[in-house]
Each structure stands twice: as structure tokens, then as C-alpha cells.
Amino acid sequence: ANLSTALLRKAHHPHYPAVNINYNIQRHVATAEKKFECFNIQDAKDFQTRVIESPVPVIVDFHATWCGPCKLLGPRLEAIISNKEGQVSLAKVDVDENVEIAMEYLVESLPTVIGFKNGRKINKFIGLQEDDAIDSFVEKLIH
């Protein structure tokens, strides 16, 4: 399935009730060109390779299956980052699957979002945020 249908599917999923789909995104993405990297971290080695050693900045979304606000934040992050034309990637870390990584980065409340650049932690926010707050966070990381 291409990214646009994935976004659409998520938007209408019962767990993502508050997302308004922006159909401009859909047209933009339908050119079959991957607009941004979005991946689930499998383990520490994966984190090392795809986040620490990533040539582009990476936003890491620490979340959990049992966390309500996380399910709302996820699509917002994806929507905003998809608009950045590949300047930043999105890594998702399920804290139950990757406890050690979460512990290392002192994650406590969820969701916690940390921006990484050149292998270093640059900025962070905790909890569900509004779109403009997320956007300025992402912009700060990129520039």
C-alpha cells in the first residue's frame, strides 16, 4: 500500500479519532516518491544505525500501545514530518519493546519526542502537542 492510503487508513482508524486528513498531502504523496522515512525501531542496533548514524536529523517518537495521547500524537507527527520533503525522518520506539533505549534517554512520561541530529539529542517535548508546536519543534531540529 502506498503512503497515502496508509495515512488515510490511519485517519479513519478508531484509535485516531481526532485527525483531519489534509487531501493536499494525499496528492503530494501520490507521485509515488517516498517523501520521508518513517520506521519502527527493532532494537538497540537498529537505533544506532538508523538514528544515531543517520545522515539526516531524526525525530524519535517514544510511545506505547497502552498510551492514549501517543495514538493521537503519532499521526500528527507523521503529517507534519511528511511535509518537510525528507529533511527529517521519523523513528518510532515502542518503550515496552525497547525498554533499554527508553531508559538510556531518560524517558518517563509518554509520549516523549526527542530530536536527534548527528547522533546527539538536540531537543525534546513531552505529551501531546498542537500542530504548530510540533511544527516549530521539527523546524528547530532541521535548522
Partner 1 sequence: TMFVNKHSRTFIFKRLPRNYRQFTSSSTEDYDLVVIGGGSGGLACAKAASQLQKKVAVLDFVTPSTQGTTWGLGGTCVNVGCIPKKLMHHASLLGDAIRDSKAYGWNVPDEVQSDWTTLSTAVQNHVKSLNWGHRVQLRDKNVEYINGLGSFKDPHTVRVKESNGTERLLKTRNAVIAVGVRPYVPSQIPGAVEYGATSDDLFWLKKTPGKTLLIGASYIALECGGFLNGLGFDTSIMVRSRPLKQFDQQMAELVAESMESKGTRFLRKCVPVSIEKDSRGRLVVKYEDLTNRQTKEEVFDTVMFATGRHAVTNNLNLEALGIEVDQTTQKVFGGHSDDHERTSVANIYAIGDILHNRPELTPVAIKAGQLLADRLFGGSQVQMDYNMIPTTVFTPLEYGVVGISEEKAVSCHGEENIEVYHAFYTPLEFAVPRRDASHCYIKAICFGDRILGLHLIGPNAGEVIQGFAVALRCGATWSGLSGSVGIHPTTAEEVVKLHITKRSGADPTVTGC
Residue ranges binding partner 1 (CB under 8 A): 43-45, 64-68, 95-96, 99-101, 103-104, 107-108, 110
Strand partners, 92: 40, 61
Asked if 127 and 69 touch (Cβ cutoff 8 Å), the reply is yes
For the CB of residue 108, give the shortest distance to partner 1 in the complex, in Å: 5
Strand partners, 113: 61, 125
For the CB of residue 43, give the shortest distance to partner 1 in the complex, in Å: 5
Phi, psi of 21 (to 5 degrees): -80, 135
Q: Give 23's Cβ-side CA count (13 Å radius).
A: 0
For the CB of residue 10, give the shortest distance to partner 1 in the complex, in Å: 19
Of 60 and 81, nearer to partner 1 (C-beta) is: 60
Catalytic machinery residues? 67, 70
H-helix segments, the chain: 3-12, 23-29, 44-47, 68-82, 99-104, 131-142
Of 46 and 135, nearer to partner 1 (C-beta) is: 46
Of 121 and 140, nearer to partner 1 (C-beta) is: 121
Phi, psi of 88 (to 5 degrees): -145, 145
Of 69 and 142, nearer to partner 1 (C-beta) is: 69
